[in-house]
Amino acid sequence: MALDIALLPRRLQKLLQKSLTSQKSIAFRLCFIGFLIFDEFVNVDILGDRVEGRLLTGTTIGLVIAGGAYVSTVDEATFWEKRPDPSVLGLEVLGRKFSNPIGLAAGFDKNAEAVDSLLGLGFGFVEVGSVTPVPQEGNPKPRIFRLRQEGAIINHCGFNSEGIVAVAKRLGAQHGKRKLDETSSASSTSNNKVIHGGKAGPGILGVNLGKNKTSEDAAADYVQGVHTLSQYSDYLVINASSPNTRGLRMLQGRKQFKDLVKKVQAARDEMQWGEEGPPPLLVKIAPDLSKEDLEDIAAVSLALRLDGLIISNTTISRPDFAKKYPVAEETGGLSGKPLLNLSTNILKEMYILTRGKIPLIGCGGVFSGEDAYKKIRAGATLVQLYTGFAYGGPALIPRIKAELVECLERDGFKSILEAVGADYR
């Protein structure tokens, strides 16, 4: 299944973009689902980064086309999650109303190419990025490796990004400009003519900011990201935890973390916001932090009134089973099932350290409603996934939501917010 749109061959990227953005091209979209299904079940890695001895045969292509043609004759609603979410999943946080707490994590749609269609799959919110100020290629391919038997992925993408201006143009055209007063002069894109659509899009959109590989001044990169992209976002994220950009994770040390958050908050607040005010600012942290690091981050976050934390990014650690797989020797971040407990434990510690005062987004290893529920009980107000979606495909999202409703009902919770941190209250 697709891991990163930018990794697809150019022609497939175009087809995907067309199929995902055109309201009318149901057949295209369903053909794409056909691709995903066959990619997953016929074991043909059409979209993945590494093809391990598998061949895209003529028969398979025929089957994919036949599958696409067949499903295009069926009512779209059968395949596309369009029903409203049950009210028990709705919640208000970060100044926004979410119809459900399940979001797509950063890294899947790095360049904001398919936001509306991804929201259309039933996600409560979608986070695009990480976006770097200047376009950059990222690390040489292959850079994404599956450990299929373990439900895991190792990646060392290294922030492949089309850059803030390209993403701003795309979001401006698709989603419209959010919140910023017309009088503001803060946008650094004025010379690049970003098209403003006029009003916010229908779904909740997070923008995750990264730094360029060659940049010496990380804070300046994030500030540039804020100036250019905050007006399109419902929330902003400083990604201080990717293991694939040298020095990035040092930003999680107490002094660096404090300086960085202050500078980025100031840059955001200096912009001239309309009535609604600026978008909330969150920081995404690693699951490999020591107890002391977590205490420092909690203290600074409380002191600076940070709007939220995302816990967590991928891990640089490797579980014991990794010895079985040569691919596990690849450098980079491990995500998926092996990350579930590690990231949930860090989330739990952070919930306790911040005394439930800061909204936390739980991320790492979510493959089911039960996994999402564990994160919520551990202190997450919202939950994100990437690897689960990469393996499970679009059908996983309604399934996770249905299972989550069952978990809440089973334990007698009438809302998500009632269940947040239930293990420690």
Ligand X SMILES: Cc1cc2nc3c(=O)[nH]c(=O)nc-3n(C[C@H](O)[C@H](O)[C@H](O)COP(=O)(O)O)c2cc1C
Interacting residues with ligand X (CB under 6 A): 3-4, 105-107, 110, 129-130, 144, 153, 155, 157, 208, 239, 242, 284, 313-314, 335-336, 339, 363-366, 385-388
Closest separation in Å from C-beta 109 to ligand X: 10
Is the CB of 1 or the CB of 30 nearer to ligand X? 1
Is the CB of 396 or the CB of 408 nearer to ligand X? 396
Phi, psi (rounded to 5 degrees) for 85: -70, 150
Is the CB of 13 or the CB of 184 nearer to ligand X? 13
**Residue type present at position 144:** I
Is the CB of 157 or the CB of 420 nearer to ligand X? 157
Per annotation, catalytic residue among 242, 301, 335, 343: 242
Closest separation in Å from C-beta 158 to ligand X: 9
CA distance 350 to 364: 15
Tokens of 158: 């290294």
Q: Give the CB-nearest residue to ligand X.
A: 107
Query: For 42-123, where are the alpha helices, taking DSSP H only?
Result: 58-71, 76-79, 115-120
Closest separation in Å from C-beta 170 to ligand X: 16
Closest separation in Å from C-beta 143 to ligand X: 8
Query: What residues contact residue 66 under an 8 Å CB cut-off, 6+ apart?
Result: none
Closest separation in Å from C-beta 269 to ligand X: 23
Annotated catalytic residue 241: no
Closest separation in Å from C-beta 111 to ligand X: 10
Query: What residues contact residue 177 under an 8 Å CB cut-off, 6+ apart?
Result: 196, 197, 198, 199, 231, 232
Q: Greatest CA span in the chain, whole angstroms?
A: 61
Is the CB of 28 or the CB of 257 nearer to ligand X? 257
DSSP 193: -
Q: In 3D, which of 16, 40, 28 has the Cα closest to residue 391? A: 40
Q: In 3D, which of 351, 335, 337 has the Cα closest to residue 288? A: 335
Is the CB of 239 or the CB of 265 nearer to ligand X? 239
Query: What residues contact residue 23 under an 8 Å CB cut-off, 6+ apart?
Result: none
- Say how far residue 80 (Cα) sits from the centre of its chain: 20
CA distance 351 to 297: 12
**Exposed / middle / buried, residue 172 (Cβ in 10 Å: 0-12, 13-18, 19+):** buried
Active site residues: 242
